[in-house]
Amino acid sequence: MHIVTFSFECGGFDNRLMRGGLSPLVWNLSREYAARGHRVSLVTPAHGHLQALRERFDVRELDHRDEHTVPLVLDPKVWPGRPAETGLALDTRAHLLRLDGVDVYLLSDAFLDLLPDRLYPPPALEGRDLAYLKPLVFQVGGLRFVQRHLADGPAVVHGFEPSYHYLLPAVLADDDRYRTVSTVAANAPVTQKVYRPQVERLLELFGVRGPDLDALDGPPPAEDSPLATMARALAGTRMHVEYGPDHVGVFPLIADRADLIDFVSPGQRDHYVTWQDTPFESLFRSLPVARRLRERPDRLLAGGCGIADSWLARDPEAVDRAAVRRSLGLTGTGPVFYHAARYAVHHKGQLELMRAVEEVLAADPEVGFVIRCSTGGGGDAPAAVANAAFQRLADRFPGQLRLEWRLADEDTLFEQAASADFCVYPSKFELDGFLIAQAEAMACGAVPIATAQRVTSHFGHGRPLDDPDATGFSVPGSFRDDDPGLARALAGRIREAVTVFRTAPDTYARLSGNARRLGRSFTWARSADLRLAAYERLLRGERAQPSAGELVGRGWLEALSPADRTEHRELIARAATERGDATALARALGRGVDDLGADDWERLFTSAHRRGDFTRCAELARRAGRPDLWARQADRFRLTAAPDGTWRVRYAHAEAERVELVVEASATTGTAPGRAPTATTPVAPAAPAAPAPSTATASAAPAVMTAAVTAAAGTAHSDVAAVDTGSADIASPDADAADSEAPGAGVPRPPLESVTEALASDEPAPASGGAVLRPLAADGDGVFTGTLDGPPVGGHAVAMVTLRSGRVVWDTVPTRAPAFRLVATDLDGTLLRSDLTVSARTRRALERAAASGAHHLVVTGRPAVACRQLLNALGYRGLAVCGQGAQLYDAGADRLLSSVSLDRDLARGVVAKVEAELGRVELGVVTSPPESRFKVTPGFGERVRHGWDVTTDPGRLWAAPIDKLILHHPHVDEDRLAAVAQRLTDGEVTVVHSVKGMVEVLPAGTDKGAGVARAAELLGFTGADTVAFGDMPNDIPLLAWAAHGVAVANAHHDLRAMADEVAPGNDEDGVAAVLERLFAPEGGRP
């Protein structure tokens, strides 16, 4: 097999070409592949180190000279003053280094040899220096080299880290010589994007027509929606980046075309494809890439990671621990704690680590710390101090704290790890993939103290201390910059570890032994075997079947095979109950949802409520018909508007540990990049809030269940007092209200990283989305309170809630009543464009209506069986009125709730009467469920009868029960045909006209008005709450029932005549135009 590894760095054989865990990953896998007899070609930049490499290795120049131009299309907002398009004329040479059976191809040119000390361009170069584009130049030059020099396929081309090979899958996708694999090694934001015109230009350069860039990212959340507010708040974190529409996602480019997507641990894979329990989960689930991943779980591979054979071959017992500690200047007699990573204060939790170290050393001078925060390159040259505050701390404790900035060789790292008793890795934001350095230290017997991240759950430190397989200690995961809670927890865990070390030697020995055994089990041989098996399947054209446990763990129950559903029924039922998924539970139990018992509904609701899934809670309460369940979550989120213009906030949830409200950022809260603003003092709004005429309350209680003036949070509807919007900030007496129980709370902590240091680091500073998170004060028993000096962001309050389990969820409550609480829309000719799609504008308008507390209800003439696929494609999961009002269909559960049948004798009588007056008519019927087939006679024509069962024997139409009869006359128009049928039947049936060329005959009393009334009653609405949209005469009862009826411009003249309003046509997004007006933000309405 020919394997091409494609990586921006690969210094596993020489630390001058190494800056992080990517190098050992690529190099050790390449070596293992070669050791098994495979041809391995490693393509990587020389990074200006050719001369130094020649001093150690046999490096020869190849007869490969690629004179080419890399077209640059620069974003004028980022690169002002630069030409819109320019080019880099390059002369790229290739050099070959053969080592351990691997052909290492080192590419060298004027750009690829830039930045030899750091290899990677720092984020601060963007917009200032074209050296920032070095990784882009590598993609182009590397791909050209692969296509020209490594063209003798078949080959597996394996790229590492999406940011450095996002062009590769698209460029090679249609080339039969290659299969592509992409490894996600570190968890960059899924929403990280690049300038779209640049991508388009480079795809054009390589002659690539796809992919469909419009479909990769989808439209942004509707303005003023809770999702948009979440996105603005998340933009200030490490999990999400906001871009304009002129950018395209890096990972979506990979996910669209890569044959396999590889991860370095099972936990990392399951995290990155779900973002489960993190603040980003809600936003991620709205992205097209999330759906793409669920559609093809067979493409996901957890190839794993390992420790170098050379490390495992060493004996920790052979290290003179005392001598090493003396060489490091450590003078204490207590345990030594070790941390080795690149300098990345937010990713690696190094700010919190140093705060914890200071706290511990101030009370216990016998403890020692070896902290390595590597910067720059390897070798003997001294490294620059990356953080002055860190260095000052080390200078204060010379005998207790050894701080190193240099990138060390394996000899040095092994000696120091083997001399440590504990290793400390408080990584944050779930940014790690595997964490080789922790595995190496554990393999030496160091007991880990680390954050309880899903991505590093393979290390076992999250197990209870008395678990026989426990390896160490855990602290809660963190999604905050410079998190005081994490710093305190870390200091507490270190003190606990010291106590165990001193007073419970047997416990320490058990933990250390477990850590050593587990650490040594992570081998590159095993990791290579997993990937080679996947490569072989790929080349054979086989798909891997994910295990049932993997799919259930991700919540992808719909991806389970029928065999898995049967075999793992108990596992599925347990998972469905834990997630509050009534449909999945009923399916696992072999019942209908209506057959679930009271205990089932109770367990489902309790689980959903405990995990903070309040939208699911509202759905369960409705489907169970249990007002008592609804009432349990009614008052969890309450806003009270006072006469002085302030708002009191109260949040109550028994499982909540921290609650933060999204508020507008202001000029007075500016801080150093990467530091979260604090609420030390109240911040005045930009303009005084309009005084409220009286006290009003907005709450999560659904109006249908309470008599209070309330607002829905994650529910279908609301009824709240309207208020003016404006900027708002929480008034809190403390620097961190949620941490007010800690000693010294309220005293601002000095920053440990300066603006200059932050800009010089490799970590990008999050860009502000104009909104920040402010903590509410904990009042005890799961109650949190605060005061706003004006209304929340937009038309709703949005809170980020951290639960005691560590799960993070979002909760919302509208702060004003929506114009209408029910939006009822016809589909064909109304909501749908002529090509049967819903435009991005209409989707955003529906999102805005939902954000305001309104519920969308589809009301269509299509029978339910003809709606299933269409509604699924639209992402519609609610109740739908189908079959001209004859059917109620639960799209989320794919379940027909009710259906009305048409008497067949009565239908035959209608046909006889109409044919007696108008002559022969073509006939069609829709059979009753569960068959629900369309059966027609041949004269309907190809357009109408496409996909229908065509019969030349009209008698066969009456063989099974039917829901409706359809009439078509080749010479009589549908208006006259409908009028004749109505006159002749005299109320025995309902006659409607909804599609050109067809007249439908339904049971008496069946129409869209009656159907929507039944659905609205189930949802707790009336006609007075409703705005309805339609286009044909069958929509007349619907618009007549609603408080406000809207006909689109392409509607039938009879409907336009009775409508309250005529909107633009369906192809001009008429529904969106009206919803944008009705649900515009306060102050934005015409």
Full strand arrangement of the beta sheet holding 656-664: 771-775, 656-664, 796-803, 808-814
Strand partners, 401: 369
Distance in angstroms between the alpha carbons of the first and the last residue of the chain: 66
Cα gap 152→146, rounded to integer Å: 10
* All structural domains of the chain with their residue ranges: 2-302, 309-522, 561-624, 634-814, 822-899+1008-1078, 904-1003
DSSP element (H, E) containing 1054: helix 1053-1058
Q: How far is CA 683 from CA 540, 670, 798, in A?
A: 63, 12, 19
Q: Exposure string (b/e) for 896-912, b if CB count within 10 Å is 16 or more?
A: bbebbebebeebbebbe
Q: Is the bond preceding 211 in cis, omega lying within 30 degrees of 0?
A: yes
Nearest to 535 by CA among 268, 269, 894, 259: 259
Token pair of 288 as six digits: 């097209």
CATH topology for the 904-1003 domain: 3.30.1240
Q: How far is CA 699 from CA 310, 788, 814, in A?
A: 61, 15, 8
Cα gap 1024→202, rounded to integer Å: 55
Q: How far is CA 973 from CA 899, 926, 995, 1048, in A?
A: 29, 22, 11, 22
DSSP element (H, E) containing 767: none
- Residues 340, 448 contacting (CB under 8 angstroms): no
Cα gap 860→836, rounded to integer Å: 13
pLDDT along the chain (1086 residues), means of 10: 96 79 93 98 97 95 95 96 94 98 98 94 93 98 97 95 97 96 95 96 94 85 84 88 92 97 97 96 93 94 95 97 97 97 94 98 97 78 87 96 93 97 97 94 98 95 96 95 94 98 98 98 97 97 93 92 93 96 92 91 96 91 82 82 85 96 66 31 28 39 27 31 31 41 51 87 78 92 91 82 95 81 95 92 87 88 85 86 90 82 88 89 83 78 59 81 86 87 85 80 88 87 93 94 96 95 96 90 45
Q: List, in order, residues 6 or more apart from 1017 with CB less than 8 Å away.
A: none
**Residue 2 in 3-state DSSP?**
strand
DSSP element (H, E) containing 94: strand 85-99
Cα gap 947→300, rounded to integer Å: 36
Cα gap 333→330, rounded to integer Å: 9
The label of the residue with tokens 């050209």 reads: 144
DSSP string, 833-855: -TTS---HHHHHHHHHHHHTT-E
Cα gap 699→644, rounded to integer Å: 19
Nearest to 510 by CA among 452, 474, 443, 465: 465
Nearest to 284 by CA among 322, 227, 238: 227
Cα gap 455→429, rounded to integer Å: 10
Domains 309-522 and 822-899+1008-1078 fall in the same CATH topology = yes
Residue 1055 CB burial class (10 angstroms; 0-12, 13-18, ≥19): buried
Crossing angle for the helix pair 582-589 and 598-610, to the nearest 10 degrees = 140
Q: How far is CA 795 from CA 724, 814, 815, in A?
A: 9, 6, 6
1072: Cα within 13 Å, side-chain hemisphere: 17
Cα gap 358→369, rounded to integer Å: 10
Domain 2-302 has CATH 3.10.580.10: no
Residue type, position 291, single letter: R
**Residue 719 in 3-state DSSP?**
strand
Cα gap 701→634, rounded to integer Å: 4
Residue 844: Cβ within 10 Å count: 21
Cα gap 3→412, rounded to integer Å: 33
Range list of β-strands (E), 467-524: 473-475
Crossing angle for the helix pair 436-443 and 505-520, to the nearest 10 degrees = 120
- Residues 976, 963 contacting (CB under 8 angstroms): no
Cα gap 71→8, rounded to integer Å: 20
pTM of the model: 0.76
The dotted CATH code for 822-899+1008-1078 is 3.40.50.1000
Cα gap 227→798, rounded to integer Å: 9
Angle at the Cα of 107 from the Cα atoms of 104 and 109, rounded to 5 degrees = 160
- Length of the chain equals 1086
The dotted CATH code for 309-522 is 3.40.50.2000
State CA 303 to chain mean position distance: 22
Cα gap 1057→1036, rounded to integer Å: 10
State CA 616 to chain mean position distance: 18
